[in-house]
Structure 1
Amino acid sequence: MTYTHEVAVLAEAALGEGPTWDADGERLIWVDILGSRVHTYHPATGARAVRVVEQHVGAAKPRAGGGLVLNLRDGVGLVDPDGAFRWLHREAVPGRRGNDAAVAPDGSLWAGTMRYDEAPGGGTLSRVTGDGAVRTVLDDVAVSNGLGWSPDGRLMYYIDSPTRRVDVFDHDGDGTLTGRRTLARIEDSAGFPDGLTVDADGCVWVALWDGAAVRRYTPSGELDRVVGLPVPRPTACAFGGPDLTDLYITTARTGLTAPLALSGSLLVVPGAGKGLPQPPFAG
């Protein structure tokens, strides 16, 4: 299968990340972590907006009542529909910041962290409910990155990037994880697994940092599709658009001595597949 990419938003994000389709707002939300910016893009009109926040922001997701939930350097914060900001859970740890996050089928936010120096064991993955209750799910992580759930919610996929693995857990309704095993291992020459999304067929799409590609793996771990890209550092991917058939891909230019022209932009591959509706945060 041949894929053709387009430029959705020409940008120079230092570390573009976390694309999320907001069905109610008919918009794509993404962040520039190191630029402390939350971007929104309406593909139907081309309208764009940027909100500058006071801290590095690892992820931004829509809330059930409107507004956003943010995974920030010092914890999880809320942006209300009127634009006002407040903390839901604040836990400042020197040298650590929030990274990728995702909303589970039950509306809880699963928020990852990492140390700026990427030290092994310095990061975590925590489950945050709408009332602000927090439970650490994994506490021995280096770079907590992509996560997503199978269409029936019974499996959770997860990436700790330096392991070069995409792992899968059994997941029950209250957020308990068991049976960790490897779905796929990324060879050294293909870069590092970063963000991921799960499609309607239960397949896992993985962005490869320093790999210039997004790969799709079947539920059995078979590599069956590769989307080559004109940038070395794709970071994450998500399906969007009214039919959830367009694959949006964030990219980064940080650390590149000679960034390619599109590094830091938001790319889109029209008609790449069929995504799953993403639940809003229940808080």
Structure 2
Amino acid sequence: MSTYDIAVREYATLGEGPTWDTDAQRLIWIDILRSRVYTYDPASGRRTILVTEQHVGAAKPRAGGGLVLNLRDGVGLRDADGGFRWLHHEPVPGRRANDAAVAPDGSLFAGTMRYDEAPGGGTLARFTADGLAQAVLDDVAVSNGIGWSPDGQLMYYIDSPTRRIDVFDYVETDGVRLPVDRRPFVTIEEGAGFPDGLTVDAEGCVWVALWEGGAVRRYTPSGELD
């Protein structure tokens, strides 16, 4: 049986979104319902905690330093010096942010969901650095994991209640790359939990964490459980 060392002992109400910040060589993760963004530098042991004013669905590093935050009322930018401004502000009563991911072209794909998880109450949208928002999906329940194949030709996506990981072709149209031709990639069997967070490794394999399943799975590019 494998053994594990605890890097950081931190208790969360709804801990999510581990992201490796390559430039800063640190781990970033969040506690959605406690409105906290955590960082950990394994080389120095330094840890930070940022308390946001709203529930936070995702925190990703920016190329110029700082973070982009998927917040309850929209997408915000936190600068390295601590300054904050909205990139896109769109409050919707009863709705909050959830998972997000940075696309190969540097745009942000950010999802939302209703607090009551009502079908059709969530969205997936694409945001550019100048604040332009473009709807990608407008009828999801719990917008969750997003990732791209190593060659940037495919995009994977999870709407958790469907129990599926879906895949799109990621193509350029009028100078903008968007996902098209949505289709099932993997369906999680009943009783195994719900697909939640997602990432794609250098071999093109898809890793998914199963909410209420107590498991992390790796699927090959052909959809086989590895």
User: Contact 1:37 / 1:50 at 8 angstroms: preserved in 2?
Assistant: yes
Structure with the bigger RCO (C-alpha within 8 Å, sep 6+) is: 1
Give the fraction of aligned pairs with identical amino acids, expressed as a percent. Answer: 74
Give the unaligned 5+ runs of structure 2. none
Residues 147-178 of structure 1: CA deviation (Å, up to 9, x unaligned): 00000000000000000000000001423222
Residue 48 of structure 2 is aligned to residue 49 of structure 1: yes
Residue 3 of structure 1, CA deviation: 4.4
In structure 1, how many angstroms separate the alpha carbons of the residues matched to 2:7 and 2:157? 27
Where do 1:81-120 residues align within 5 Å? 81-120=80-119
Where do 1:162-201 residues align within 5 Å? 162-173=161-172, 174-201=176-203
Residue 224 of structure 2 is aligned to residue 222 of structure 1: yes
SS in 2 for 1:82: coil
Partner amino acid for 2:183? R
SS in 2 for 1:188: coil
The equivalent of 1:158 in structure 2 is 157
The equivalent of 2:9 in structure 1 is 10
> Which is worse superposed, 59-68 or 113-122?
59-68
In structure 2, how many angstroms separate the alpha carbons of the residues matched to 1:210 and 1:6? 23
Residue 4 of structure 1, CA deviation: 3.6
Residues 182-210 of structure 1: CA deviation (Å, up to 9, x unaligned): 11111111100000110000000000011
Residue 5 of structure 1, CA deviation: 3.1
In structure 2, how many angstroms separate the alpha carbons of the residues matched to 1:42 and 1:154? 32
RMSD: 0.9
Residue 43 of structure 1, CA deviation: 1.1
The equivalent of 2:30 in structure 1 is 31
Residue 218 of structure 2 is aligned to residue 213 of structure 1: no
> Which is worse superposed, 175-184 or 34-43?
175-184
Partner amino acid for 2:64? G
Give the 3 Å change call, closer, same or farther, for CA 3–136 of structure 1 in structure 2: farther
Give the 3 Å change call, closer, same or farther, for CA 75–51 of structure 1 in structure 2: same
Residues 227-263 of structure 1: CA deviation (Å, up to 9, x unaligned): xxxxxxxxxxxxxxxxxxxxxxxxxxxxxxxxxxxxx
Where do 1:60-71 residues align within 5 Å? 60-71=59-70
TM-score, normalised relative to structure 1: 0.77
In structure 2, how many angstroms separate the alpha carbons of the residues matched to 1:7 and 1:16? 15
The equivalent of 1:72 in structure 2 is 71
Residue 95 of structure 1, CA deviation: 0.2
Give the 3 Å change call, closer, same or farther, for CA 186–24 of structure 1 in structure 2: same
In structure 2, how many angstroms separate the alpha carbons of the residues matched to 1:130 and 1:166? 28
In structure 2, how many angstroms separate the alpha carbons of the residues matched to 1:159 and 1:49? 30
In structure 2, how many angstroms separate the alpha carbons of the residues matched to 1:62 and 1:166? 25
- Show structure 1 runs of 4+ deviating over 4 A: none
User: Contact 1:127 / 1:175 at 8 angstroms: preserved in 2?
Assistant: no
